[in-house]
């Protein structure tokens, strides 16, 4: 069974840091683009960023709202994805979802998110 499970959420003060983890099982992480998506309380979905697959050297893309503050990385040996969040702001308060991009046919380009984790809550407040 393909599963994603996030962890590491919690309460942090403005300006602080937090690292989220996403444990993947049932598939090979290196074969997929992997993204983070967030959802502020009572709001819609916002794309945070992406790490591409091994074939594309795990290059990354970020939303303008987090670029320079957030970093996405992987640990292939542990089949895990990470989101390092620095200089946190109150507006970063949200549920953060780890998502897998559908790479069926060996192509991840312009493909949707086919698997979502249950999410982990991050609250930024003093």
Partner 1 sequence: IQLTQSPSSLSASVGDRVTITCRASQDIRSYLAWYQQKLGKAPKFLIYAASTLQSGVPSRFSGSGSGTDFTLTISSLQPEDSATYYCQQILSYPLTFGGGTKVEIK
**Rounded distance, CA 35 to CA 33, Å?**
7
CB of 95 to partner 1, least distance (A): 9
**Rounded distance, CA 31 to CA 121, Å?**
27
Under the binding rule (CB under 8 A), the answer on residue 119 touching partner 1 is yes
Residue placing its CB nearer to partner 1 in the complex, 1 or 126: 1
Under the binding rule (CB under 8 A), the answer on residue 116 touching partner 1 is yes
Residue 76 half-sphere exposure, CB side, CA atoms within 13 Å? 11
Residue placing its CB nearer to partner 1 in the complex, 63 or 123: 63
User: Largest Cα–Cα distance of the chain, in whole Å?
Assistant: 47
Q: Which stretch binds partner 1 (CB under 8 A): 14-22, 24-32, 57-65, 68-76?
A: 57-65
Under the binding rule (CB under 8 A), the answer on residue 68 touching partner 1 is no
**Rounded distance, CA 2 to CA 102, Å?**
12
Which of 41, 44, 105, 106 binds partner 1 (CB under 8 A)? It is: 44
Under the binding rule (CB under 8 A), the answer on residue 112 touching partner 1 is yes
CB of 13 to partner 1, least distance (A): 27
Coil, helix or strand for 112?
Answer: coil
39 exposed, middle or buried (CB, 10 Å; 0-12, 13-18, 19+)?
middle
Say how many residues touch partner 1, by CB under 8 A.
21
């Amino acid at each position: 069974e393909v599963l994603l499970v996030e962890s590491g959420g919690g309460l942090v003060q403005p300006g602080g840091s937090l690292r989220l983890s996403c444990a993947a099982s049932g598939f090979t992480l290196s074969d997929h683009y992997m993204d983070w998506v967030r959802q502020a309380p009572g709001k819609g979905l916002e794309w945070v960023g992406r790490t591409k697959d091994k074939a594309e050297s795990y290059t990354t893309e970020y939303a303008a709202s987090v670029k320079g503050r957030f970093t996405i990385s992987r640990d292939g040996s542990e089949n895990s994805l990470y989101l390092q969040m620095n200089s946190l702001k109150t507006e970063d308060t949200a549920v953060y979802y780890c998502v897998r991009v559908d790479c069926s046919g060996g192509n991840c380009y312009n493909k949707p998110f086919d698997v979502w984790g249950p999410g982990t809550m991050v609250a930024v407040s003093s």
